[in-house]
Amino acid sequence: MEMGNMTSITEILLLGFVYDPALEIVLFLVFLLVYIVTVLGNALIILLITIDSRLHSPMYFFLSNLSFIEIFMTTCVVPKMLANFLTKRKTISLGGCFAQSYFYFFMGSTEFILFAAMSFDRYMAICYPLRYPTLMTGTVCVKMVIGSWICGFLFVFLSTVLKVRLPYCGPNVINHYFCDSAPLLHLACTDISLIELIDFVSSLILLLGSLSFTATSYVYIISTILKIPSAQGRKKAFATCASHFTVVSMGYGISIFVYVRPSQTDIMSMNKALAIFSGILTPLLNPFIFSLRNEQMKEALRDVLKGIASENKRWLIS
């Protein structure tokens, strides 16, 4: 399609990581293992929360939604990356590139709003324990989760619509392993300063806004915990927040550094490395963080494993 003297591009070349076929096979196997463990680990959390009545509480309801987001966000990126490791022509259609970018950042935006909702849940549980069951009802929790998804959708919708309407005339090369927002935008052959500003402002509002809410919640939480007279009580209260606080710290720290900048092209190689950590490794670590540091999750997992072992034993005997 001709646009004056410019030809519109129809596909994007993703440079990925390396150009050595032997090393690409190694990376394929590594990331395939990471992807399988990520999906199975987060799916296991969803399964345990669904079948174990001890985990039917607001905290675990939010956690199951977080695990679903982690599976979805990883699936937006990793399967295409794995396919590119095995092919010489590492391309994706322009429409597919926009779709991948949109759903990845849709999930990411929803995740940060959900972090704020989870911190509010912990604030209510620790600061208002007697009123907590009546305030954080199932209906309230469902509305908070739905609100998180709607806000995540809206945060990236306007920017994506504006980007899709731009002319893209080449070069068609992105120095990344997926269609990240900034390198995709810089393929446009027109002025992009307004959209860059919109991306910067929306990232600023999303990340710093949800971080401020989360940080304020934890200030109140910590001050309340420190007032608990018994050391055992303080330890138990801290334990209910430790996993969430660890995940939040990793997510916000990396994302603020990568995305809350007016221009994101100056250190693209570093952004690529950090995106691996935030988009691939963090979803891998989350199931371990939440299961290994949570007694109720460990008890639920032990009960499931005991049930499976018992069924296997009964089957072998029969």
- Residue-wise pLDDT for 140-163, tens only, equals 999 999 999 999 999 999 889 999
Positive or negative torsion for Cα 280, 281, 286, 291: positive
Q: Helix 138-164 to helix 193-203 angle, to the nearest 10 degrees?
A: 170
Helix (H) or strand (E) holding 13: strand 11-14
What pTM value is reported for the model? 0.86
The pLDDT confidence band at residue 3, using thresholds 50, 70 and 90, is: very low
Q: Is residue 286 classed as helix, strand or coil in its secondary structure?
A: helix
Q: Which two tokens stand for residue 124?
A: 């209510």
Is residue 64 scored above 90 in pLDDT? yes
**pLDDT value at 9 more than 50:** yes
What confidence score (pLDDT) does residue 318 get? 62
Give me the mean pLDDT over the 291-295 stretch.
70
State the Cα–Cα distance between residues 41 and 70, nearest whole angstrom: 10
Confidence check: pLDDT of 42 > 90? yes
The pLDDT of 20-35, averaged and rounded, is: 89
pLDDT(217) > 80: yes
- Give the C-alpha separation, 217 to 206, whole Å: 16
pLDDT score of 267: 57
